[in-house]
């Protein structure tokens, strides 16, 4: 029961948003690594005596990093916002205000998750390890931003955008433009749907002097900002497709991704928020998972060698 309470505290189901993009970054990194060495994968295999084991191990480390970083960020957010959550009828049932998990335990959970994240990056490569404090700063700092800026949605997007580039770095140990385009897509995609989610708390945020796009601009204008962010996100995945010379599978994924962006804006209106959760969870969950499946399929389809 306690384990389930902690999963609920960190909204483990929301991992569905960033994890698929981490998988895109990981397999894109494998493909980049494969083509960076001649004549192909067998050379990498000679460098890594157990190449398949190395791939599986790196993938496991990437998944663990995602879980630990997200757990730290969400637990810290719940810890920091516990007093606001207790006042808001929509969030009063959350674990800390409801007394299911104590504030101190949530803080310890944050600390332990942060340490496990840092330790895991040590076993990936030196670059990921040295960048781990910066990554933790970004994902934890988000929890403060609603107290002083309506750009908090972009900071949340920045935190989740570390998934594709972080996974790419875990494999290749270097930065490249293509995974960065996927990261930019995540920034504006997440920012856009977080604005939609924040529509529910417009009046509460105003009453508590908290910042958000809906509280600052009102529902109608905030939705326009969300639309602009999602247009930028769509532009990033299209630019990535062109730069990466992807094939038909990728573009099918782009069609689904963009279709889900359009769909969520079609069902949420300033005067009708009944389907916000459908837009937030279902539409975006489909967008990320299906898009990742098509992108990874395209990567495998156009690789002339086998990864395993």
- Per-domain boundaries in the chain: 2-301
- Please state, in angstroms and rounded to a whole number, the distance separating the CA atoms of residues 129 and 65: 11
Question: What's the residue count for the chain?
Answer: 308
Within a 13 Å sphere around the CA of 203, how many CA atoms are in the beta-carbon half? 4
**Burial class, 171, CB count within 10 angstroms (exposed 0-12 / middle 13-18 / buried 19+):** buried
**CA nearest neighbour of 200 among 185, 190, 210, 186:** 210
pLDDT in tens, the chain (308 residues): 477 777 777 776 777 889 999 999 999 999 888 766 554 444 544 454 447 888 899 999 999 999 999 999 999 999 999 999 999 999 999 999 999 999 999 999 999 999 999 999 999 999 999 999 999 999 999 999 999 999 999 999 999 999 999 999 999 999 999 999 999 999 999 999 999 999 999 999 999 999 999 999 999 999 999 999 999 999 999 999 999 999 999 999 999 999 999 999 999 999 988 889 888 888 899 999 999 999 999 998 876 444 33
Which strand (E) or helix (H) includes residue 204? helix 202-207
Q: How many CB atoms lie within 10 A of CB 177?
A: 10
Top CATH class, 2-301:
mainly alpha
Q: How many CB atoms lie within 10 A of CB 306?
A: 10
- Please state, in angstroms and rounded to a whole number, the distance separating the CA atoms of residues 60 and 264: 33
Beta bridge partners of 269: 272
């Amino acid at each position: 029961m306690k384990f389930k309470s902690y999963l609920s505290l960190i909204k483990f189901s929301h991992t569905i948003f960033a994890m698929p993009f981490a998988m895109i970054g990981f397999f894109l990194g494998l493909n980049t690594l494969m083509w960076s060495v001649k004549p192909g994968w067998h050379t990498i295999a000679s460098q890594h005596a157990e190449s398949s084991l190395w791939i599986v191990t790196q993938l496991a480390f990437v998944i663990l990093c995602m879980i630990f970083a997200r757990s730290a960020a969400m637990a810290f957010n719940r810890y920091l916002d516990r007093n606001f959550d207790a006042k808001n009828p929509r969030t009063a049932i959350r674990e800390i205000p409801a007394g299911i998990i104590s504030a101190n335990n949530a803080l310890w959970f944050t600390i332990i998750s942060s340490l496990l994240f840092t330790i895991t990056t040590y076993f990936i490569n030196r670059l990921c390890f040295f960048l781990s404090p910066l990554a933790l700063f970004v994902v934890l700092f988000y929890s403060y931003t609603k107290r002083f800026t309506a750009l908090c949605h972009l900071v949340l997007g920045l935190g989740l955008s570390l998934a594709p580039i972080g996974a790419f770095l875990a494999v290749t140990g270097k930065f490249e433009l293509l995974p960065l385009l996927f990261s930019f897509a995540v920034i504006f995609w997440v920012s856009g749907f977080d604005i939609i989610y924040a529509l529910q708390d417009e009046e509460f945020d105003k009453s508590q002097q908290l910042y958000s796009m809906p509280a600052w601009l009102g529902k109608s204008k905030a939705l326009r900002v969300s639309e602009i962010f999602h247009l930028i996100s769509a532009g990033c995945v299209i630019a990535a497709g062109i730069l990466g010379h992807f094939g038909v599978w990728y573009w099918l994924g782009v069609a689904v991704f963009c279709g889900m962006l359009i769909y969520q804006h079609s069902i949420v209106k300033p005067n009708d928020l009944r389907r916000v959760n459908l837009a937030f969870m279902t539409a975006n969950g489909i967008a990320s998972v299906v898009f990742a499946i098509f992108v990874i399929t395209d990567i495998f389809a156009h690789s002339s060698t086998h990864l395993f």
